[in-house]
Amino acid sequence: MKKSLALLAALAALAVPMSAQAHRAWLAPTSTVLSGDEAWVGFDAGMSNGVFIADHAAMNLDGLVITGPDGATVQPENLHRARYRSSFDLHLTKPGTYRVANVMGGVVVAYTVDGTTRRWRGAEADIAANVPAGATNVAVTRSDSRVETFVTLGAPDTAALAPTGKGIELAPVTHPNDLVAGEPATFRLLRDGQPAAGLDVTIARGGTRYRDNPEEMTVTTAADGAFTVTWPEAGLYWINAAVRTPAADGQPAASAQYNGVMEVLP
């Protein structure tokens, strides 16, 4: 009983810095709907308070995975890390939809050693080598994060959107490259491949620097993980959902976060 209380306290301590550093992660494409036999799209990736406003931190793109229309992995080009944004290009040579995602997984371990609380972030297999044997109040949280966007050359298709079954993912009902202002769009959120019910989804449109009202929307996913949004106007939108599950049945606590970027055309 005492142990689980300590664990809860450690988790709570962990939760505070997480929410305090609430910078938003975004992966913004230069265009999303393309025509022609081949095309190039550039991407900027950063973390900041205002979505798509590169004024805080560049994103670590170690987890970058680009899936082409045929399901094969495509390599980025001209990868570059600037002060406030990381950027790269994608050469689209096949018609169809590409999923461009920065996927990070691992664990966060909070522990106390010599009276001080420390945190370590890394792969689950490396815990033993990195957390001292004498540590107390050890609290492990599995963490999955996905930051992604979609681009389509020619007609949209869905082969690249097949779920991987890990973390929070977005399954299309409406295709993410077929969005028009004034129309409703429906998507389903999955967690580890299963419908993610009851998640709060934040929907924010870029360009907040040029208006006074953030104009954010919040919707909640239904039992099948679905949510519907009617786009109030054209623009680049950021879609976020996060979930945290306490430790139970011998499994460590788990957190998962989704950050999608979609373009809505007029």
Partner 1 sequence: MRKLPLALASLAAGSVAGPALAADLNVSVTLPRLNVAAYHRPYVAVWIERPDNTAVRTLAVWYEVSNVAEGKDWLKDMRTWWRRGGRSMTLPADGISSATKAPGTHAIRVPGARLSNLPAGDYVLVVEAARELGGREVVRVPFRWGAPNAGRASGSTELGAVAVTVTR
Applying CB under 8 A, the residues found at the interface with partner 1 are 33-37, 39, 154-156, 178, 180, 265-266
Closest contact distance (angstroms) between CB of 215 and partner 1 is 23
Q: Which of 137, 124, 123, 191 is nearest to 12 (CA)?
A: 137
Cβ proximity to partner 1: between 29 and 167 the closer is 29
What residues contact 168, with CB distance under 8 A and at least 6 apart? 144, 146, 189, 190, 191, 196, 199, 241, 242, 243, 256, 257, 258
Residue 180 beta carbon to partner 1: minimum distance, rounded to whole angstroms: 7
Task: Give the shortest CB-176-to-partner 1 separation in angstroms.
Answer: 14
Phi and psi, residue 159, nearest 5°: -60, -40
39 or 110: CB nearest partner 1: 39
- Which residue in the block uniquely carries the two structure tokens 């992604």? 148
| Shortest CB 97 distance to partner 1, Å | 11
Listing DSSP states for 90-134 in one string gives EEE-SSEEEEEEEEEEEEEEEEEETTEEEEEEE-GGGHHHHS-TT
**Measured from the CB atom, is 36 or 134 closer to partner 1?**
36
Candidates 101, 120, 116; CA nearest to 26 is 101
Q: In terms of CB distance, is 21 or 35 closer to partner 1? A: 35
d(CA 209, CA 217): 17
Minimum distance from residue 174 beta carbon to partner 1 (Å): 12
Two tokens at 151?
Answer: 């681009």
Q: Which is nearer to partner 1, 153 or 196 (CB)?
A: 153
Residue closer to partner 1, measured from CB, 162 or 265: 265
Smallest gap from residue 98 Cβ to partner 1 (A): 15
